[in-house]
């Protein structure tokens, strides 16, 4: 169920599907699958299921010209201190929509993702092979065999 849900969610993101369209797709999938399937029937249920995987994110407002992120010292500003452009989106007739950011950056916190990656024994072997492997003939066959790689690990 999780595998199917993640694939469907990737399809949603790849093609810019709206939440309503995604909900209808889930309902259609549920109708096609045998009775008793555990696939969520709405976007809300799908988000709840996926949030349990630790795939959370933080939305951070950004300057439309990529000058700054509105966080820490800049969190309460309404105009960019570098270029002077408004933080808010312009609607019809150049009226600012207060509270609707012109640009948003999605920040995916890495630590929960690393923890999730290292939970699988198969994945751990792939992620740590360069530290575990030994050079057989003393020759450099990979960058992990080089002195500079070893110097960066210390």
So what's the pLDDT on residue 122? 82
Mean pLDDT, residues 94-115: 84
So what's the pLDDT on residue 38? 84
* Average pLDDT for the chain: 84
CA–CA separation, 41 vs 106, rounded Å?
26
So what's the pLDDT on residue 81? 96
So what's the pLDDT on residue 24? 93
Domain boundaries, the chain: 2-51, 63-102
More confidently predicted of 44 and 141: 44
Report in angstroms the alpha-carbon separations of 148 from 129, 138, 139, 142, 152. 18, 15, 15, 12, 6
- What tokens does 57 get? 């994110």
Contacts of 65 (CB under 8 A, 6+ apart): 80, 82, 83, 85
What sign does the dihedral 58-64-65-69 (CA atoms) show?
Answer: negative
So what's the pLDDT on residue 143? 75
- Please write the tens of the pLDDT for every residue from 65-91: 999 999 999 999 999 999 999 999 887
Phi, psi of 79, rounded to the nearest 5 degrees = -130, 150
- Please write the tens of the pLDDT for every residue from 134-153: 666 667 777 777 778 777 76
The verdict on pTM exceeding 0.85 is: no
Give the number of C-alpha atoms closer than 13 A to the C-alpha of residue 21, restricted to the C-beta side.
9
CA–CA separation, 101 vs 84, rounded Å?
15
CA–CA separation, 21 vs 27, rounded Å?
10
């Amino acid at each position: 169920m999780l595998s199917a849900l993640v694939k469907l969610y990737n399809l949603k993101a790849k093609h810019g599907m709206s939440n309503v369209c995604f909900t209808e797709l889930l309902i259609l999938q549920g109708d096609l699958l045998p009775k008793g399937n555990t696939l969520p029937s709405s976007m809300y249920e799908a988000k709840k299921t996926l949030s349990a995987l630790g795939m959370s994110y933080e939305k951070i407002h950004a300057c439309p010209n990529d000058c700054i992120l509105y966080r820490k010292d800049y969190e309460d500003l309404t105009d960019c201190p570098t270029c002077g452009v408004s933080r808010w989106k312009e609607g019809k007739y150049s009226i600012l929509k207060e509270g609707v950011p012109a640009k948003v950056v999605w920040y995916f916190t890495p630590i929960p993702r690393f923890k999730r990656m290292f939970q699988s024994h198969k994945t751990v072997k792939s992620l740590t092979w360069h530290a575990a492997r030994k050079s057989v003939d003393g020759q450099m066959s990979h960058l992990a065999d080089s002195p500079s790689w070893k110097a960066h690990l210390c």
